[in-house]
Amino acid sequence: MMIIHDLSTDGDDPPAFVALRDIRLKCENGFDYSGPRGDKLRKNYPDIAPQLHPQPPAAVFKAAHAAAHTMGWAIAAAVEGEGRIEATATTRLLRFKDDVIIRIRAADLGTRLDIRSTSRIGGGDLGANAKRIRAFLLELNKHLKTNT
């Protein structure tokens, strides 16, 4: 398994930061997506993939926003009309700041959700971004189940 500092459920069209853009431009790891794409993403992270939900985008947005709060992330932007949530997660041990963006779009028969988690510093993250994405997706599903 690869250990990288930038990971998205959509490596070919990763969500782009808007509210956190200036912070990302100034940090060591920059703004542009540098994580795995295509087959490399699917091979190394088969479970880190776009999420399809039968609920409408508004319901998925509400659940994603609630899940981000439950995760303890500092929300930088939550723009339902754009289907965009941006937040900063702080690691427990060393208090590193990692940025997260969630993109929610209408899809056939429901909603597609993509998430990107990226570290501000360092070439590797010891698997923190993959763990964060997995934990968020589990939390999202809990919120979706309680609201259906």
- DSSP characters over the chain: ----SEEES-SSS----STTHHHHHHSTT-SS--S--HHHHHHH-TT---EEESS-HHHHHHHHHHHHHHTT-EEEEEEGGGTEEEEEEE-TTT--EEEEEEEEEEETTEEEEEEEEEESS-S--TTHHHHHHHHHHHHHHHHHHHT-
What's the CA gap between 70 and 85, in Å, rounded? 14
- Predicted confidence at residue 18, as pLDDT, reads 82
- Predicted confidence at residue 6, as pLDDT, reads 78
Query: Residue 55, Cβ neighbours under 10 Å: how many?
Result: 15
| Tens digit of each residue's pLDDT, the chain (148 residues) | 555 777 889 988 999 888 877 775 676 555 565 665 788 788 888 999 999 999 999 999 999 999 999 999 999 999 999 999 999 998 777 677 889 999 999 999 899 999 999 877 666 667 788 899 999 999 999 999 987 5
